[in-house]
Structure 1
Amino acid sequence: MDLLHNAVRPYAWGSRTAIAELLGKEVPTPHPEAELWMGAHPGDPSRIVGADGVERSLLDLLSADPDGQLGTRCANRWGTRLPFLLKVLAAEEALSLQAHPSAEQAAQGFAAEESAGVPRDSAIRNYKDPAAKPELICALTEFHALAGFREPHRTVTFLRTLDVPEFAPYTELLAAQPDSGGLRALFTTLITLPQTALGALLPHVLDACVLHVKEHGEFDAECRTILELGEAYPGDAGVLAALLLNRIVLQPGDAIHLPAGNLHAYLHGTGIEILANSDNVLRCGLTPKHVDVPELLRVLDFTCGDMPVLRGEETTPGVSVYRTPAPEFELSRLEVTGETRVNHDGPQIMLCTRGSVELVSELGDRLELLQGQSVWLAASDPAVVVRPSGTESAQLFRATAGTD
């Protein structure tokens, strides 16, 4: 087991306090800090801190010893690639509205772009690799998001409540076919509106949202979100697309799984995100970056309804596992009040998010993990016992490969 040194990504939508406070650094930071990466992503791999104090890239370590670091099962499936990436995500402003492809879609898209000679670093490249990118976000603070298409009848009620005459034809398009097919038709219509039509329509929708908020209407949270997005991204079709999505508030410990094709945008809050180690993103809007509408429509899943909230399945006292079908990852939350034995036949990363813990291996090795610190446990490492190193309980998040 080895301590990790991890990269902080300074995206503009990030927080100046959340990650710094977790790491025990001075706040506010000079620049926004959006994500703390733990893993072996080629763009910013974690570094192993050896007993001699020398740091070594986790990426290099996996390449040199895939069986020892990843384990036979994981190495046979993923080669030298760590299949998951663990993050602390701190959103002060909304991220782009986006979806991710399935493994089959990613392989097809990557092959097509390779064949067409699109440079991998091109701004119009959709597929950086041939892998899927499912995600799971677990809230550390109250966390706000848009995720998945709302049940169509509910969306019709929302749109009719806004009562925007200029939007009525679009509302009735969904009312006439309140299912996944109707959602696809309405979404496609909205996302492909000419800029002149979009520019004329959006102000009427925003005015209606202002009125709804003033009247403390039923859809207050949804309207506030539309107004915030409209101010941040004027004239962006993603603002209209957001009308069709579930508005979700997660409490600490709550999580949502975002499978292939799920349209989503994180709005505000701090969470633990685990995802497949891939860079494939299809954007819908709320961004100045490239939006490829035909490819987005090929990837999107228009299944509709409430977004399931995961609260973790307690497998042993104090250990809750967030089950998903994703083969690339599994996330567990450990509320450490006494001794907890941790074992796994593959690679693990553990992050301390509250308090401090001591890790003791079966061989007697010891390592103290403070709040904000993380540790790498190779597949060949012995099992460890985790216990609080202070008088109070501690909290850990543990990332492993999926069990599929």
Structure 2
Amino acid sequence: MDRLSTTVRPYAWGSTTAIPELLGVAPTGEPQAEMWMGAHPGAPSGTDRGPLSELIDADPVRELGAAAVEKFGPRLPFLLKLLAAGAPLSLQVHPDLAQAKAGYDAEERAGIPLDAPSRNYKDANHKPELICALTPFDGLCGFREPTEAADLIAALDVDSLKPYVDLLHAHPEEAALREVLTAVLSADPQEMAATVTEAAAACERLGGGYAPYASIAHHFPGDPGVIAAMLLNYVQLQPGEALFLGAGVPHAYLNGLGVEIMANSDNVLRCGLTPKHVDVPELLRIVRLEAADPGVLRPEASPAGEELYDTPIDEFRLSRYVLAPGAEPRDLTAHTPQILLCTAGGVTVGELTLTPGQSAFVPAGEKAEISGTGGGPGTVFRATVVV
């Protein structure tokens, strides 16, 4: 097995303190948004044997196992991350597999460069994802009931928002959400900026459940995504709780530290809270215009000590072990590839010792026993696939 060296992505929305605190190192003062673990071409993890991506390319069956290669091809189908949000991420949705393939093929035929700002589809894969909170974690996930969104917006008492309130009350669910989302994202930018400014002041004044939207507006003054965000469920995760984001579900992470796992893809359709390209017609084709409970996940414990976050996705499977010092080792040997990430205390994986923020890649079939190292419980997340 291999200890992974990882890349930290310094995106502007990243926390300056959360990842350094987990690692037990001094902050640099710069944002540290994501630490990537995997073989994604954008930042493949390193090992003593070379980049993980090159190891897999050289012998995919040895590293991934025959069953995983047969099902997913000769690549690691997931990317594991530590995600530390100090400011809101963009409001976004992801396509399903058929939509991603069709969109990618269409943009390839049109000759749109992969790095073009207007490009929607960077690959032909879908991007389901799961975020598990390590600290209290705030986010937006899925549409509220239209009448609930109408009541939330109506309380702001902003004249220019009153037509949206009427629409949310007057139409069937899908039509209401479609018309209001379209109107918000297609409005005259100057007029919408003035509306957002007035709405943000109302949120500041009302406080309480409006405080998250005041904070969003502080980071993105005048952005129509501030109003779009009020159409979504606001979710507060406690440590150990998780959200699964399937295709077409609008979402945004606002604040907190978590373990994120996703299928390997860069396909994002943005709805706001971003200076990047927003393709409203394509977004409306992809987004699921239906109210839904965000569905907070809690892990399901097995007699073997594994706590599983159950999702309907085969490209990744995420679980957690909390290891008491001196307890019997847990045998994690599997015929699938695994990445093991320590997030608390200390754990041993075979001959490797992992401290918070450190991770290891375990090739398919490699013997893998984990145990706590003493001095308190050790927590390790296990990422693998379903074959």
TM band (smaller chain):
over 0.9
Q: Is the 8 A contact 2:345 2:378 kept in 1?
A: yes
Aligned residue type for 2:45:
S
How far has the Cα of 1:159 moved from its partner?
Answer: 2.1
TM-score of the superposition, structure 1-length normalised? 0.92
Q: Write the mapping of 1:261-280 to structure 2, written as runs, cut at 5 A.
A: 261-280=248-267
TM-score (norm 2): 0.96
SS at match of 2:4: strand
2:275 aligned counterpart, secondary structure: coil
Question: SS state of the match for residue 375, structure 2?
Answer: coil
Pick the aligned partner of 2:66 from 57, 61, 72.
72
> Does residue 309 of structure 2 align to residue 322 of structure 1?
yes
Whole-Å separation in 1 of the counterparts to 2:217 and 2:346: 42
Matches within 5 A, 1:303-342: 303-337=290-324, 338=327, 339-342=329-332
1:285-300 mapped onto 2 (5 Å cutoff): 285-300=272-287
Whether 1:137 and 2:131 are equivalent positions in the alignment is yes
Q: CA deviation at 1:389?
A: 1.4
Partner AA of 2:131 in structure 1: I
Q: How does 1:2-401 map to 2 (within 5 A)?
A: 2-26=2-26, 28-49=27-48, 55-213=49-207, 220-221=208-209, 223-337=210-324, 338=327, 339-360=329-350, 366-382=351-367, 384-401=368-385
Q: Can you list the C-alpha shifts for 1:211-232, whole angstroms capped at 9, x where unaligned?
A: 322xxxxxx23x2122122222
* Partner AA of 2:46 in structure 1: R
Aligned to 1:363: none
Note the alpha carbon deviations across 1:162-194, whole angstroms, 9 max, x for none.
233331111010101251231112111111111
Conserved in 2, the CA contact under 8 Å of 1:355 and 1:371?
Answer: yes
What is the percent sequence identity of the aligned residues?
A: 48
Residue identity matched to 1:231: H
String of CA shifts for 1:9-56, please: whole Å, max 9, x gaps: 111111122112222322x2131110000000001000112xxxxx40
Report the Cα offset of residue 85 of structure 1: 0.3
Task: Give the aligned CA root-mean-square deviation in angstroms.
Answer: 1.4
Aligned positions, number? 384
Preserved CA contact (<8 Å) 2:87 2:219? no
Distance in 2, Cα, partners of 1:395 & 1:178? 46
Gaps of 5+ in 1: 50-54, 214-219, 361-365
**CA–CA distance in structure 2, aligned partners of residues 59 and 183 of structure 1:** 42
Helix, strand or coil at the partner of 2:230: helix
Task: Give SS of 2:302's match.
Answer: strand
Separation of aligned partners in 1, 2:386 and 2:203: 42
Q: Distance in 1 between matches of 2:375 and 2:217?
A: 48
